[in-house]
A and B are shown apart, each in its own frame.
Chain A
Amino acid sequence: MLDKIGIAKRIAKEVQDGDYVNLGIGIPTLVANYVRDDIEVEFQSENGVLGMGPFPFDGEEDADIINAGKQTITTLPGASFFDSAMSFSMIRGQHVDLTILGAMEVAENGDIANWKIPGKMVKGMGGAMDLVASAENIIVAMMHTNRAGESKLLKRCSLPLTGVGCVKKIVTNLAVIEVTDKGFKLLERAPGVSVEEIEKATEGRLIIEGDIPEMDI
């Protein structure tokens, strides 16, 4: 079974040379730390920066340079700043190649819910609805089950949707799964995790074809 860093490491392998990538808050933010250093990638943050770098050194933080998680950041050579309309032009106009975000629930048809628990948690969708409505390539990073042990990979989402039929791939602590027309297709198992354990933790339709290899992290 993977921890959050393991999930981030596995997703980092999906990032291709030349990709512009938008990373959501939480596990997705960690992905930047594990991308191969022999490829060129630029990270976009939807509050208005392309070419995001690591956190600043202590004492060098600048209130005017933050990421979408409101964290202080730095920029790398080649970076640019822009306004919110232009930022979402990059996203809506499909100039950003890869979107990695977290989720509360994903359905077997690719629907995603990650912004609201009615009556309990209402923080808002931020840029998530724009991202999932437009991105060609969306990878969800999440735990396979919630704190109550219930599956987050469902037949249908029970929470208010963020987007419909948009998720392409899911990387969890247990598995790598592709979302297909016929349901969740199991691609890889996390180290030490059996196919049976993944089946048990998946409520939606799980397609298992042939031997399922263990992830190479």
Chain B
Amino acid sequence: MINKKVNSVKEATEGITDNMTFMLGGFGLSGIPENAITALVDSNIKDLTCISNNAGVDDFGLGLLLKKRQIKKMVSSYVGENDEFERQMLSGELDVELIPQGTLAERCRAAQAGFPAIYTPAGYGTEVAEGKETREFNGKMYVLEHAFKADFAFVKAWKGDEAGNLIFKGTARNFNPVMCGAATITVAEVEELVPAGTLDPNQIHIPGIFVQRIFQGTAYEKRIEQRTVRTRE
């Protein structure tokens, strides 16, 4: 067994510096790497490019990095929940590349899978396709989208083992699996880290080969953005 376990978030984030490009898992606030984000905020590194579907909210998730002006550029698909983000974007302080959600996922997956680029129909005929190569296949137009290049991918899983194998829970899975192995170093934080051999190999979502460092996360807040419930009749 090749052991990927590190003992702290500090050890897991060793090597992060200014000007790096990071991938961060999560959809909204669900499945975000809370411990890694806190460590990035505390590190005070700046001029970061962050690839993440959303940008957190004003006081949680990536919103914390935005508030401290550590992010130079965001690559996202939907950023509607963050006032500070919108302010920095409209004032030009923050560079923002908005891309379709499926394209975001596939540009991560392409990096993971060793494809330099992919063709997608999403965004054809819109400003998203401006300046990009397009091509017709079987009578339909597609846009060439390149694989991402990132220094670190920070992902969050439900359970993991020392070999780096990961299991996700519910819709907290989202972008986390496609970011594993899509950056030079993938750092996984888990709610429950167990010895190798404990998890059933049949149930593994992401094999440890895609993960360089894994650590036991702590104090997960798992904030809910839109608490919607129904009343019992």
Measured CB to CB, the residues of A under 8 A from B are 45-49, 54-67, 69-73, 81-85, 87-88, 91-92, 111, 119, 122-130, 133-134, 160-165
Q: In whole angstroms, what is the CA distance A62 to B177 when docked?
A: 20
What are 5 A-B contacts defined by CB distance under 8 Å?
A: A81-B171, A88-B101, A125-B98, A127-B102, A161-B127
Interface residues on B, range: 35 or more
Closest to B121 in A: A133
Known pairs A65-B170, A161-B125. 6 more at Cβ < 8 A?
A: A61-B229, A65-B171, A84-B53, A129-B100, A129-B102, A130-B122
Q: Between A and B, how many residue pairs show CB distances below 8 Å? A: 186
Q: Which residues of B contact A73 (CB under 8 A)?
A: 228
Q: In whole angstroms, what is the CA distance A84 to B96 when docked?
A: 21
Inter-chain contact A123/B227, CB cutoff 8 Å: no
Inter-chain contact A92/B121, CB cutoff 8 Å: yes
Q: In whole angstroms, what is the CA distance A44 to B177 when docked?
A: 19
Q: Which 10 residue pairs spanning A and B have beta carbons closest together? A: A88-B102, A123-B80, A130-B102, A164-B125, A64-B170, A84-B105, A129-B100, A63-B222, A124-B78, A133-B121
Inter-chain contact B229/A130, CB cutoff 8 Å: no
Q: Which residues of A contact B152 (CB under 8 A)?
A: none
Measured CB to CB, the residues of B under 8 A from A are 27-31, 53, 76-81, 86, 89-90, 96, 98-106, 108-109, 120-128, 158, 168-178, 205, 222-232
Closest to A165 in B: B125
The answer to whether A92 and B122 touch (CB under 8 A), given A81-B170, A81-B173, is yes
Inter-chain contact A70/B28, CB cutoff 8 Å: yes
A67 to chain B, nearest CB (A): 8
B132 to chain A, nearest CB (A): 13
Closest to B82 in A: A123
Closest to B126 in A: A161
A205 to chain B, nearest CB (A): 20
Partner of B224, one of A47, A61, A87, A133: A61
Q: Which residues of A contact B126 (CB under 8 A)?
A: 129, 160-164
B92 to chain A, nearest CB (A): 12
Most buried by A among B76, B109, B222, B229: B229
Q: Which residues of A contact B109 (CB under 8 A)?
A: 85
Q: Which residues of B contact A161 (CB under 8 A)?
A: 125-127
Q: In whole angstroms, what is the CA distance A113 to B185 when docked?
A: 38
The answer to whether A124 and B98 touch (CB under 8 A), given A47-B27, A48-B174, A160-B126, is yes
Q: Which residues of B contact A70 (CB under 8 A)?
A: 27-30, 81, 225-226
Partner of A56, one of B30, B89, B172, B229: B229
Q: In whole angstroms, what is the CA distance A117 to B28 when docked?
A: 22
Partner of B230, one of A57, A83, A128, A163: A57
Inter-chain contact A57/B169, CB cutoff 8 Å: no
Most buried by A among B28, B78, B126, B222: B126
